[in-house]
Amino acid sequence: MGKPIPSNFGISRHESIVAGGGLVKNNLLMQIYADIIGRDITVSASPQVSALGAAMLASVAAGKENSGHANLKQAAANTASGRNRLK
């Protein structure tokens, strides 16, 4: 297992799985992954999900007092959306 996400990010490490990149174009493959790991996978609506993640982390680093977000959970709630969820 990897290192746990620090608690100051405001999310649980196992709360959700979001997939991005070239493989998400294949819904069958994403469904197979979801079936194998026994978890929901949300396919990112953004073709630039890495850039979105970097922007979300930057907004947390800036902090709420500088027009950013207090934590990653808040940043995700205000900026990220999924294309579809495979169960």
The residue that leads in pLDDT, 86 or 40, is 40
- The reply to whether the predicted model has a pTM over 0.85 is no
How confident is the model over 9-25, as pLDDT tens digits? 555 555 668 888 888 88
Name beta bridge partners: 19: 43
Greatest mean pLDDT among 17-26, 47-56, 58-67, 74-83: 58-67
